[in-house]
Amino acid sequence: MQLTNDTFLRALAREETGHTPVWLMRQAGRYLPEYNSTRKKAGSFLALAKNPAYATEVTLQPLERFPLDAAILFSDILTVPDAMGLGLYFAEGEGPRFERPLRDEAAIRALQVPDPGGELRYVTDAVREIRKALAGRVPLIGFSGSPYTLACYMVEGGGSDDYRTLKSMLYGRPDLLHHILDVNARAVTAYLNAQIEAGAQAVMIFDTWGGNLTSAGYEEFSLAYSRKVIAGLTKAHEGRRVPSILFTKGGGQWLEAMAATGCDALGIDWSTNLQAARARVGSQVALQGNLDPAVLFAPPERVRSEARRVLDAFGTGPGHVFNLGHGISQFTPPENVAALVDEVHTYSIKLRTTGAR
């Protein structure tokens, strides 16, 4: 099927585009009243994520409000360990937790790669249904947590300030952590390929916790396994390249190594200056980012001026996908998102015609 708007995919391929495409991490989410209605109907976050019809409904909601250049599958980053039997749940007002975190060697050795056509079928069903509903309007992004980020949650049992349990294993029993990471890498590869097979036109790997490592640890425990995933990804589908985006929050010091994994683009958090990032790796990969999500708490004029700052930092030339540096906050006023998307489109067209920078 022909895409009406393929700006996002062309920007990832570092081709010239008429404007800078924009989408927002967690764009289908709690800052939208219509999302909260659907979630209420579904009964819980997990019931929402596991029902393809609801997942389709919320995936499309932000596109109805804002002229975004991509849709992203509504799901959770922890679906894979959930399918491994760890029992994902959400305690009210808290982040994700597992009923059965990985705490002993026997459980770790018993870990299996889940069949994406089995327990995870609801995800590929959602991808298919969303593609149908999108009808070629914009591309659909599939995603997964990185092997390391999944392991952080699997071992810790949930989020953490210091990842004490995970780090104790990392320094005390690295062989066990490597075993988990190896299973995770195979599971994530199969999972992302199933999403591509079902119709995801780009994939993103979220390494939310890679930034809690040392430089050497990042290479050994995070990047080595993301690299394996990227190497195993289906590279083309429906006659078109399926680009991959690698995002490590707090990974600003490691962009060169990330760019060398074979991914098509890097997600950049807001702590890194985009001009500097582009100088370092922008001839190898496209860059996606990197507005501080907290800018969206400011008045619309400030949202617009900060958006221009990000666009100016990247400058003209191909290979920029505008995004936040992290997921959008539930406290964001939707009208500020409208101002942001409008400014990215309007100003990036202007930049191209005036040839500023």
Q: Which residues bind its own copies (CB under 8 A)?
A: 162-164, 167-168, 170-172, 211-218, 250, 252-253, 270-273, 276, 292-295, 297-299, 302, 306, 309, 329, 331
CB 138 within 8 A of CB 70: yes
Geometric angle at alpha carbon 100, from 97 and 102, rounded to 5°: 100
| Catalytic (active-site) positions | 26, 30, 39, 76, 153
Q: CA–CA separation, 18 vs 348, rounded Å?
A: 8
Is 212 or 261 the residue whose CB approaches its own copies more closely? 212
Is 275 or 346 the residue whose CB approaches its own copies more closely? 275
Nearest to 98 by CA among 161, 157, 180, 151: 157
Nearest to 167 by CA among 206, 221, 219: 221
Q: How far is the CB of 261 from its own copies (least distance, A)?
A: 19
DSSP 272: S
Q: How far is the CB of 157 from its own copies (least distance, A)?
A: 16
Nearest to 180 by CA among 231, 145, 232, 143: 145
Dump strand ranges (E) for 173-277: 202-207, 236-237, 240-241, 244-248, 265-267
Q: How far is the CB of 356 from its own copies (least distance, A)?
A: 18
Q: How far is the CB of 297 from its own copies (least distance, A)?
A: 4
